[in-house]
Amino acid sequence: MENYNNIKIQLNKFILDMLKSDEFKNNISLYIKEEINNIIYIKKEEIFNNNIYKNIKYNIKINIINLLKSEDFKNEIYNFFDYNLKELEKSDKTLEFIISPGFINGFKVYIYNHKDDIIDSIKNFLTNSDIKNKINKEIFNILNGINPMVSKFVNSNTIQMKLMEGINNYLNNINNVNYIINIINTKIDEVMKKRISEFSLYFPDESKKSLINSITNGIINNLYPEKIADTILNKLEENFKKEVYLLNKNSNNSILNINNTIDVFLKNHYNNFLENNKIKEFIDKFSKDIIDNFLNKPVKDFI
pLDDT, tens digit, 9 for 90 and up, residues 13-54: 887 777 778 887 788 788 777 776 765 665 656 667 778 778
pLDDT of residue 40: 60
pTM of the model: 0.50
Burial string for 94-114 (b: 16+ CB within 10 Å, else e) reads: bbeeeeeeeebeeeeeeeeee
Question: Which pLDDT band, with edges at 50, 70 and 90, does 299 fall under?
Answer: very low
Q: Which of 50-54, 175-179, 199-203, 238-242 has the highest mean pLDDT?
A: 175-179
**Residue 218 neighbours by CB under 8 Å, 6+ apart:** none
- Among the listed ranges 226-240, 249-263, 278-292, which one has the minimum average pLDDT value? 249-263
Spatial neighbors of 95 by CB under 8 A, at least 6 apart, are 191, 192, 193, 194, 196, 199
CB atoms within 10 A of CB 288: 16
pLDDT for the residue numbered 148: 64
Burial of 287 (0-12, 13-18, 19+ CB in 10 A): buried
Task: Give 138-170 pLDDT, tens digit per residue.
Answer: 877 777 776 666 556 667 777 778 888 898 899
Q: Which pLDDT does position 150 carry in this prediction?
A: 58
Q: How far is CA 287 from CA 56, 270, 294, in A?
A: 54, 21, 11
Q: Give the mean pLDDT of 89-113.
A: 88
Residues 6+ apart with CB under 8 A from 181: 111, 112, 115, 118
Average pLDDT, the chain: 80
Residues 6 or more apart in contact with residue 201 via CB below 8 angstroms: none
Q: What pLDDT, on a 0 to 100 scale, did the predictor assign at position 273?
A: 77
pLDDT for res 28: 78
Longest dimension (CA), the chain: 160
Could you tell me which of 235, 128, 226, 115 has the C-alpha nearest to residue 179?
115
pLDDT of residue 163: 84
pLDDT at residue 151 in the model:
56
Q: Tell me the β-bridge partners of 195.
A: 94
Residue with the bigger pLDDT between 224 and 178: it is 178
CB of 67 within 8 A of CB of 73?
yes
Q: What is the mean pLDDT of residues 51-67?
A: 85
Average pLDDT estimate for 61-67: 87
Candidate ranges 141-145, 183-187, 204-208; pick with highest mean pLDDT = 183-187
Q: What are the φ and ψ backbone dihedral angles of 253, each rounded to 5 degrees?
A: -65, -40
pLDDT at 57 over 70: yes
pLDDT band (50, 70, 90) for residue 178: very high
Calculate what percentage of the chain has a pLDDT beyond 70.
Answer: 84
The pLDDT value given to residue 45? 60
Please report which confidence band the pLDDT of residue 302 belongs to, taking 50, 70 and 90 as the band edges.
Answer: very low
End-to-end alpha-carbon separation of the chain, Å? Answer: 25
Instruction: Say if residue 97's pLDDT is above 70.
Output: yes
pLDDT at 252: 67
pLDDT at 188: 92
Q: Is the pLDDT reported for residue 114 higher than 90?
A: yes
User: Does pLDDT of 4 surpass 80?
Assistant: no
Q: How confident is the model at residue 300 (pLDDT cuts 50, 70, 90)?
A: very low
Give residue-wise pLDDT tens across range 253-286.
Answer: 767 777 788 787 777 777 777 787 887 788 788 7
